């Protein structure tokens, strides 16, 4: 078994796979170590919304990064399908953010004044294209750029493409320890064997706090549990994603609708609760009254990796070690995966960076404790 690599990535979720794909494309020898199955963490729990405009409110570096990442899905759709033959199920029919009261309608109409890529649609226009919605709506903000993908398929497509381009991806191989060698490389200890890598990337989502601490940093990544359900119904015929009051309904290509998601802070359990699922059904019923006759297909829960300030850590160790962090993507890891892969690739290959992004996602915003 090969045990020496240029880059070793800890974590085989969508973030680790995106980085591995971009590096393998450049001919870099790359290893992913995944403690469980590829994409088994937060990645498979996600609804797959690419909500750059609906999730982020400030026109700052984070928003620009998210928009570029969203745009890059147009490239990846074709690229990944050509290499891996996997369809990432990219749907770009946009999103409706609903107003159910006059006050909400007026607040959403205001957004149109300073946000060029959104439009206000009256109740009549909304109901003409989405007749399943309740006639009590007041209208909606139409966000054409916020589509969705299948997170599971994106992760599988990155992974298969990276493998075909030469990456080594090992499942059921948890990294227990990172040690620096005398030649300034890093040993990643696993129950299988030790791997030696010139560069390492911490990309193990909500579990990465452990390595931050071991490397002398205090990341404060906390779990925010999210519960979802999926339904099927011949009476519901949505085209666009529907968003209202932190709740969304995403129409998937296979006829399912994914409804999510709760936000439970500091909860490490990945079992959905009756209360959580009930709260989602209660939120959706006034929007789509016909939901009560839908078939319940599945329920699940996953853990969002939430950093202290809500922004991901994408950057190098503050003391210039060849240790990189790509974690803490919180509610938007699926949206941000393409651009995260490109940015970590460029950092490792010493390519020119957008300084605004380097600053915004820097691990330097943490206090260095020891090394």
**Distance between CA atoms of residues 7 and 5, nearest Å:** 5
**Distance between CA atoms of residues 95 and 97, nearest Å:** 6
CB 35 within 8 A of CB 296: no
- Does the footprint of ligand FAD cover residue 35 (CB under 6 A)? yes
Handedness of CA 89, 95, 98, 104 (dihedral sign): positive
- Does the footprint of ligand FAD cover residue 338 (CB under 6 A)? no
- Does the footprint of ligand FAD cover residue 205 (CB under 6 A)? yes
Residue 371 has which token pair? 């090394």
Q: What is the chain's Cα-based Rg?
A: 21
Around Cβ 354, how many Cβ atoms within 10 Å?
Answer: 15
- Does the footprint of ligand FAD cover residue 231 (CB under 6 A)? no
Which conformational region is residue 330 in: left (phi greater than 0), alpha (psi within -120 to 50 degrees), or beta? left
242-281 footprint of ligand FAD as x/- string (CB under 6 A):
------------------xx--------------------
- Does the footprint of ligand FAD cover residue 333 (CB under 6 A)? yes
Tell the smallest beta-carbon distance from residue 310 to ligand FAD (Å). 11
Member of 31, 33, 202, 219 binding ligand FAD (CB under 6 A): 33
**Distance between CA atoms of residues 323 and 186, nearest Å:** 9
In terms of DSSP bridges, do strands 30-33 and 4-10 run parallel, antiparallel, or are they unpaired? parallel
- Give burial (CB, 10 Å; 0-12/13-18/19+) of 29: middle
Residue 243 has which token pair? 């968003």
Of 42 and 86, the one with the shorter C-beta distance to ligand FAD is 42
**Distance between CA atoms of residues 266 and 306, nearest Å:** 10
- Does the footprint of ligand FAD cover residue 185 (CB under 6 A)? no
Q: Which stretch binds ligand FAD (CB under 6 A): 6-14, 120-128, 291-299, 361-369?
A: 6-14
- Does the footprint of ligand FAD cover residue 341 (CB under 6 A)? no
Member of 247, 334, 343, 366 binding ligand FAD (CB under 6 A): 334
Residue 78 has which token pair? 């074709």
Q: Which stretch binds ligand FAD (CB under 6 A): 56-64, 139-147, 160-168, 325-333?
A: 325-333
Tell the smallest beta-carbon distance from residue 7 to ligand FAD (Å). 15
Member of 19, 28, 34, 277 binding ligand FAD (CB under 6 A): 34
Member of 8, 19, 43, 347 binding ligand FAD (CB under 6 A): 43
| Residue pointed to by tokens 């999210």 | 226
Of 46 and 215, the one with the shorter C-beta distance to ligand FAD is 46
- Does the footprint of ligand FAD cover residue 226 (CB under 6 A)? yes
- Residue ranges binding ligand FAD (CB under 6 A): 10-16, 33-36, 40-43, 45-49, 174-175, 203-207, 226, 228, 260-261, 302-305, 327, 329-335
């Amino acid at each position: 078994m090969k045990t020496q690599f240029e880059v070793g990535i800890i974590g085989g979720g969508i973030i680790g796979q995106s980085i591995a794909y971009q590096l393998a494309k450049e001919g870099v020898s790359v290893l992913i170590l995944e403690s469980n199955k590829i994409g088994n963490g937060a990645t498979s729990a996600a609804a797959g919304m690419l909500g750059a405009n609906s999730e982020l409110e400030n026109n700052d570096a984070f928003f620009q990064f998210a928009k570029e990442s969203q745009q890059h899905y147009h490239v990846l759709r074709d690229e990944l399908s050509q290499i891996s033959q996997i369809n990432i199920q990219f749907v770009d029919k946009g999103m409706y953010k609903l107003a159910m009261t006059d006050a909400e309608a007026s607040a959403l109409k205001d957004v149109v004044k300073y946000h060029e890529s959104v439009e206000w649609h009256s109740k009549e226009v909304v109901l003409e294209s989405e007749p399943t919605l309740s006639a009590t709506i007041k209208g909606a903000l139409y966000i054409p750029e916020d589509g969705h993908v299948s997170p599971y398929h994106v992760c599988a497509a990155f992974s298969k493409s990276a493998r075909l381009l030469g990456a080594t991806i090992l499942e059921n191989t948890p990294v227990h320890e990172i040690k620096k060698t005398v030649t300034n490389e890093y040993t990643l200890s696993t129950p299988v064997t030790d791997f030696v890598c010139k560069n390492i990337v911490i990309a193990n989502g909500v579990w990465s706090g452990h390595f931050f601490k071991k490397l002398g940093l205090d990341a404060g990544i906390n779990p925010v549990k999210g519960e979802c359900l999926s339904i099927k119904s011949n009476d519901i015929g949505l085209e666009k994603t529907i968003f209202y009051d932190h709740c969304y309904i995403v129409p998937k290509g296979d006829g399912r609708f994914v409804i999510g998601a709760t936000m439970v802070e500091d909860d490490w359990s990945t079992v959905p609760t009756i209360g959580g699922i009930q709260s989602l059904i209660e939120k959706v019923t006034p929007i789509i009254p016909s939901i009560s006759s839908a078939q319940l297909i599945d329920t699940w829960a996953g853990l969002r990796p939430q950093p202290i300030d809500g922004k991901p850590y994408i950057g190098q160790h503050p003391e210039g070690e060849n240790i990189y962090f790509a974690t803490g993507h919180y509610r938007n890891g699926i949206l941000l995966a393409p651009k995260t892969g490109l940015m970590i690739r460029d950092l490792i290959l010493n390519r020119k960076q957008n300084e605004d992004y380097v600053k915004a996602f820097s691990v330097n915003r943490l206090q260095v404790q020891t090394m």
